[in-house]
Amino acid sequence: MNLVLLGINHRTAPVEVRERMNIPEARLADAVSDLVHRPGIQEGMILSTCNRVEVIASAEENVEADPILRQFLADHHHCELQPFERYFYRHLQQDVISHLFRVASSLDSMILGEPQILGQMKQAFQIARQAGGLNGPLQEIVNQALAVARRVRRETALGTAAVSVSYAAVELAKKIFGGLEGKTILVIGAGKMSELAAKHLLRSGASAILVANRTFERAQELAVAFRGTAIPYDELFNHINQADIVISSTGAPHFVITRAQAAKLLGARKGRPMFFVDIAVPRDIDPAVNELDNAFVYDIDDLAQVVEANKRQREREAVWAEQIVQEEVGRMMKRLASREVVPTIVALEDRLNHIREGEMERYRSRLGALAPEQREAVDALTRGILNKILHGPITELKSGVGNPEHTALVRLIQKIFGLGS
């Protein structure tokens, strides 16, 4: 096994370099095919997204694959690779496996735990396979990388906790109301942010939406877009207590909802909670409303603060995820190594058995006619000696799998017993 990976990503290279090195999806199959037809390369895959370009290959033993990959990239982009040299990273052997597992699990992403990379890796895998680039250990490794990513998703909370302001609002709403089914949203003042938040809330199950705006026409436009109801701005307070979630983003220079007004509202709602999302600057909702029982007020800075906390939460989850990845890398290495050992064991057994049968043949005439039970006894005797001799080397071959010195041991046994490579 001779694995190599050459790549750039959002950390090592600026966007100009990444787009220069990018290989568009339409040309990916041809590129993979070109790569694996180069002498010395057995398998190849290319992962090209807006944040990374990586060329991964499995080469023949004793072939230095790194220059081949560099030449491939230079040829493909019709350029000298020299000026870009410093942006590239290179991984070999076990590091390739570890890197692929981390990338698939979104541990190497710009936003930790973002889900797109898994789909992108899956696509790169399929394209490479269709282009004939994968048919051996690399295929198995990438396939396993996808499985590891799914395990990380299942066993850690790496991908949870919103990292955008509008999703953070949705998550907070869920922490207050449980499900959003049957909940009513009131949007006061139309704006990009409030539209986005309302859209996310509706998609998460909120059932009704009311829109109020200083200009009634704009409210009607929005109401049509969201299949909601427009309400005249003057009648805001007649409708507001129907709303479970209030998203406010007016240009008003003063508070639209004061503490006293909110207290009255909550009283009318018999203690059912209300969630105020205040996106306006200057703020629309008196921050003192947050002091009232069953009222929760988040302004734009509060939401940003929650996003920051969520990011730190993801970083903590990443520690667990890294442990899973390392465990899986170890397992993969073992599996690959034992795969390499099996042919040696079979060859060794064949070789010794061949000797045994040859000697049996040679001595048959000298032994004379043997009764069937005598022949069986001789057979069992020779077989027994053979198994005793084989026991040591086979145990050694199997047990050392994964150790660095193990390859040398395999070579040594092959040499001693004259097992042609």
Partner 1 sequence: MHDVFMWLALGLYGLGILLLIPSVVHRRPSLSPAALGALGLGLLAHAGAIAVVAARIHRLPVTDVRSALSFYAFLVTLAFFLAYLRYRITSLGLFMLPLVFLLTLIAALHAEHSFDSSAFRGGWLLIHIGSTILGYTGFFLTFVAAVMYLMQEKELKSKKPRAIYYRLPSLEVLDELYYRSLVFGLPFLSVGMVTGFVWATRTWKGPWELDPKILASLVTWLIYLVLFSTRVSGGWRGRRAAYGAIFGFAAVMVTFLGISLLSGQHGYIPTLKP
For partner 1, the closer of residues 281 and 309 by Cβ is 309
Please identify which residue in the block is written with the tokens 């680039």: 133
From the CB of 277, what's the least distance to partner 1, in Å?
Answer: 12
C-alpha 286 chain-centroid distance? 42
For partner 1, the closer of residues 132 and 273 by Cβ is 273
For partner 1, the closer of residues 33 and 290 by Cβ is 290
For partner 1, the closer of residues 213 and 310 by Cβ is 310
C-alpha 187 chain-centroid distance? 36
Q: Are 210 and 243 in contact (CB under 8 A)?
A: yes
From the CB of 100, what's the least distance to partner 1, in Å?
Answer: 24
Among 15, 25, 50, 238, the active-site one is 50
One-letter identity of residue 378:
V
Name beta bridge partners: 45. Answer: 56
Please identify which residue in the block is written with the tokens 């073992």: 334
Q: Are 149 and 104 in contact (CB under 8 A)?
A: yes
From the CB of 148, what's the least distance to partner 1, in Å?
Answer: 16
From the CB of 171, what's the least distance to partner 1, in Å?
Answer: 10
**Contacts with partner 1, residue ranges (CB under 8 A):** 155-157, 160-161, 172, 174-179, 267, 270-273, 290, 293-294, 296, 298, 302, 305-306, 309-310, 313, 317, 320
Which distant-in-sequence residues (6+ apart) come within 8 Å of 417 by Cβ?
348, 351, 352
Q: Three-state DSSP class for 247?
A: strand
Task: Establish whether 79 is a catalytic residue.
Answer: no
From the CB of 161, what's the least distance to partner 1, in Å?
Answer: 7
Question: What is the number of other CB atoms lying within 10 angstroms of the CB of residue 184?
Answer: 18
Query: Edge-to-edge strands of the sheet including 245-248?
Result: 229-232, 208-213, 184-188, 245-248, 274-278, 295-299
CB-based burial label for 336 (10 Å; 0-12, 13-18, 19+):
buried
For partner 1, the closer of residues 170 and 231 by Cβ is 170
**What residues are labeled active site?**
50
